[in-house]
Structure 1
Amino acid sequence: MEPPQPPPAALARKNPRDHRVDALRGIALLMMLVDHVPDDLLNRITIRNFGFADAAEIFVMLAGYASYLAYGRLIDRQGWKTGIHRIFGRCVRLYLYQTGMTLVFVWTVRQWRHYQPLPEYTIEPQLAHGYSGLWRILTFDALPSYLNILPLYVVLLALFPLIYWVLKRSVWLLLALSIGIWAIANLDPRITIPNWLDPNGWYLNPFGWQFLYILGILGAVWASKHNGDLPYRPWAKALCLTYLAGAFVLCFPYEYWHVPFLRIFPAPPNTGKSTLAIWRLLDIMAIFYLVQSSKALRRISADRIGQSLALLGRNSLEVFACSTVLDLLGRLMFASFGINLWDQLVMNVVGLGLTYALAIPLDRARQRAKAARLSSGPARPVPAPE
């Protein structure tokens, strides 16, 4: 006689969810919300002011981490056909969101200019001229600067089956190939995907940024062997903290805060973002290691504050799309009516409120669906948020 199976709830309690990735992605989404409005005072306190990297690097690395959890495990459980079908569906969804945001951008800019003339340089020039070049944007032949991260994600996610195929054969081969492609892109930035709007090509060069995505995948593989934690090593923590402290000293905006300079030599140029320069790569790797190796942060991510951030990360696509549209409205408002403290306060409170007003019902619907799955029969693995 077979032993009785534990109820689904007991199975769920056996492996408590690690919310650190969701919370970190939620922080990245909030930083992108304010970073994409250049005159927003809050973007003076985001990560890009205190180190080499910014929220985009966090977003892409966590995309790789989540891709392994959602699709790598799915391929192992149900085979390549199911995995590729799910990946294709996700890519289509990402593309539809990108298309929707593009159409909203073009329509909003055209309507705004009917009532409030704007100098072309204050907004996306390619959006100021209407629908004539829209086909280029929809085919990724032209990428507006504030609409360039989802196309990068589509390309990287579409390559995931190939990446995972190589990974299953040799981790070291995958790492060597990725490093080689990244190094070539940094040595010759002309190696990129053409962009009709920019002679330098895609601003987030996939040949460089694929390395960060693959590091996220490898981080998930490594962490999965240690109950979701990256192995804690005191010397690694000290090295990461030392690097981040040095980046802070070099990048801190002393001029803005009117404090004495502590730099002993100039910071590396900010131009390294397009190809993911080594100083930016090391910065985000250090942050990721400190977060994913910290048991204290694992506990904090499960409490009230951590969960308020994690619910954004669990619904990242919808939150990102909403935030991107709100950013456009913020730029238009500041360009049309000027900048003052009251407008800043209203824009940030309303933006934050709308972001959570979207995320909360989405998260409740997700939890109801999960509860329905658990109550309907034996517990099945639940895909990680993508």
Structure 2
Amino acid sequence: MTSMADRVARPPLADDADARAAAAVPVALPVILLPAGAERELRLDLFRGLALWLIFIDHLPNNILTWFTFRNYGFSDATEIFIFISGYTAAFVYGRAMLEAGFVIATARILRRVWQIYVAHVFLFTIFLAEISYVASRFENPLYAEEMGIMDFLKQPDVTIVQALLLRFRPANMDVLPLYIVLMLFLPLIIWLMKWRPDVTLALSVLLYALAWQFDLYLSAYPNGFWAFNPFAWQLLFVFGAWCALGGARRMSRVLSSPVTLWICFAYLLFAFCVTLTWHLPQLKFLMPKLIEQWMYPITKTDMDVLRFAHFLALAAVTVRLLPKDWPGLKSRWLRPVILCGQHSLEIFCLGVFLAFAGHFVLAEFSGGGPVLQLVVSLAGILIMSGMAWIISWYKHSADKSASRKKGAVGNADMAGGGS
């Protein structure tokens, strides 16, 4: 009797029926597919960095540059980009870890990353409160504390700090990281399910999204209300990003390359643009039929309205079609700052929150916040974010080179010792 190892080791003979039968059996491919190359996907870094810039600009009140962000020209905004790419990159990195090292090791790595994000959130919360409190007291303007949502902290700091540690209390502009923390906590389960059945996992995510709308599922916030970004709804975008990273995008390539898909996306983007145009030009409101208004509105961001999700899908499909992976512009030095910001998204996001309030203060206190000052503050913030991203990248690169030299020196010393 021949073993399986024997059948693999030697070629089948003409009269070896068992070997011919074994050769005829197709080899099972893995359910989730990961690119074999280790080259970084610069398009993801580019658009995540762009999302961070847009989030910063949109957080500045009455900022003229918000007219250059696409939230005014469609249903979705930079938040959808950030969450989708976060799901994509997280699944790509930890999906490979789960395939190579197993579920337990990958889960441990994910939980370590969750802890890092949580610590960053607590650090951001602490410094952000100090920044707002100092400005409010120094300039004797309690409106800053009220606008940024920290009045409850000033009244009951002990209770509020506990609620903040539980992710239930958050000042203004600090809603994204708690959402990201919750979604990352469930990433091990998401990847494990996708290793089993990726399409079923995505279907379960769609089902949870529908149940959240049907039964009004949400997480409560302190002191009242609910999370600004409902995790039960926004998980769909995160899971969809993970599904694309683990082979879904490859399986959709034929659909995405179809001219019909491209024209449908363009038509929907044009429809969204026309609808949002009526928001800014009330005299055009008569063009919107009442029946369509009753069907569409409200287009809520908290529960990620399906129209927002569809708008993001259309943007993503058009972008993938028009911006190939090997586009030479991705290597341009002009795009290097935004790509670096995308590669260090956690640090740059936290910095952007600080800078947004600092910009808010400058615009409120000086020169009435005119267009020129708005432009200066916006560009200054982007330059600071880009500079910090460059410093972080330089530091990590220098540390990696130092570690490589040290490792090489130790290896050479071991070889020299072994030869003596």
TM-score by length of 1: 0.84
Q: Give yes or no for the alignment of 1:278 onto 2:306.
A: yes
CA deviations over 1:205-260 (Å, ceiling 9, x no partner)? 0000001100101111236748999952222122112111111111137747x997
CA distance in 2, matches of 1:229, 1:22: 24
- Match among 330, 338, 346 for residue 309 of structure 1: 338
Q: Distance in 2 between matches of 1:253 and 1:41?
A: 19
Aligned partners of 2:332 and 2:248: how far apart in 1? Answer: 22
1:347 alignment partner AA: V
Matching residue of 2:361: 332
Larger Rg belongs to:
2
> 1:243 aligned to 2:268?
yes
Deviation string for 1:68-120 (max 9, x for gaps)?
11101111112222211211111111011111111112111211122211325
Counterpart of 1:102? 125
136-145 or 81-90, larger mean C-alpha shift: 136-145
Q: 2:97 matched to 1:74?
A: yes
Quick check: 1:160 aligned with 2:184? no
Query: Matched residue of 2:222: which SS?
Result: coil
SS at match of 1:101: helix
| Distance of 1:217 and 1:282 partners within structure 2 | 17
Which position in structure 1 is the counterpart of 2:53? 30
SS at 1:212's partner residue?
Answer: helix
Please state how far the C-alpha of 1:144 moved relative to its aligned partner: 2.9
Judged with a 3 Å threshold, the aligned counterparts in structure 2 of structure 1 residues 222 and 210 are, in CA distance, closer, same or farther, namely same
Q: What does residue 318 of structure 1 align with?
A: 347
> Number of aligned pairs?
362
State whether structure 2 residue 226 is matched by structure 1 residue 197.
no
Tell me the residue number matched to 2:43. Answer: 20
1:220 aligns with 2:245: yes
User: Does 2:319 align with 1:291?
Assistant: yes
Alpha-carbon offset, residue 143 of structure 1:
2.8
Residues 226/305 of structure 1: CA separation in 2 closer, same or farther (3 Å cut): farther
How far apart, in 1, do the equivalents of 2:303 and 2:46 lie?
27
2:178 to 144, 151, 156: 151
Deviations 1:272-328 (A, max 9, x none): 111111100001111222223445464132333333321111011111000011111
Q: Distance in 1 between matches of 2:265 and 2:103?
A: 37
- Aligned residues of 1:106 and 1:127 also touching (Cα < 8 A): no
Q: Taking every aligned residue pair, what percent have the same amino acid on both sides?
A: 24
RMSD: 3.0
Q: Which residue of 1 aligns with 2:383?
A: 353
Deviation at 1:353, TM superposition (A): 1.6
Cα offset for 1:60? 0.5
Q: Specify whether residues 145 and 108 from structure 1 end up closer, same or farther in structure 2 by C-alpha distance, changes over 3 A only.
A: closer
Is this contact kept in 2: 1:110–1:128, CA < 8 A?
no
The 8 Å contact of residues 232 and 294 in structure 1, kept in 2 or not, is answered as no
Question: Contact 1:123–1:331 (CA<8 Å) still a contact in 2?
Answer: no
Corresponding residue for residue 154 of structure 2: 129
Q: Quick check: 1:29–1:312 contact (8 Å CA) kept in 2?
A: yes
Change in Cα spacing, 1:255 to 1:178, as seen in structure 2 (3 Å) is closer
Check the 8 A contact 2:338/2:386 in 1, yes or no.
Answer: no
Report the 3-state secondary structure (helix = DSSP H, G, I; strand = E; otherwise coil) of the residue aligned with 1:272: coil
Give, in whole Å, the separation in 1 of the partners of 2:102 and 2:362.
Answer: 50
1:140 matches 2:164:
no
In the alignment, which residue of structure 2 is the partner of 1:64?
A: 87
Counterpart check, 1:171 vs 2:198: yes
* Partner Cα distance (1:69, 1:374) in 2: 25
- Cα distance, 1:230–1:310 mapped onto 2, change above 3 Å: farther
CA contact (8 A) 1:26 1:311 kept: yes
Distance between the aligned counterparts of 1:31 and 1:214, measured in 2? 23
Please name the residue that 1:53 is paired with.
76
The unaligned stretches of length 5 or more in structure 2 are 1-36, 409-420
Q: Call closer, same or farther: CA 1:250–1:225 in 2, change over 3 Å.
A: closer
Aligned to 2:318, the other structure's residue is in SS state helix
Q: 1:232 to 1:367 in 2, by over 3 A?
A: farther
Contact residue 103 and residue 192 of structure 2 kept, 8 A: no
Larger helix percent = 2
Q: Which whole-Å CA distance do the structure 1 matches of 2:126 and 2:138 have between them?
A: 19
Tell me how far 1:341 sits from its aligned partner. 2.9
**Which stretch shows the higher mean deviation, 132-141 or 280-289?**
132-141
Q: Which ranges of structure 1 fall in alignment gaps of 5 or more residues?
A: 1-13, 378-386
The 1:276–1:41 alpha-carbon spacing in structure 2 relative to 1, beyond 3 Å, is same
Which moves more between the two structures, 114-123 or 345-354? 114-123
* Contact 1:18/1:298 (8 A) holds in 2: no
Structure scoring higher RCO (CA < 8 A, sep ≥ 6) equals: 1
CA distance in 2, matches of 1:231, 1:370: 39
- CA displacement, residues 346-385 of structure 1 (integer Å, 9 cap, x when unaligned): 31232112111100121233445666788979xxxxxxxx
Q: Which moved more, 1:205-214 or 1:299-308?
A: 299-308
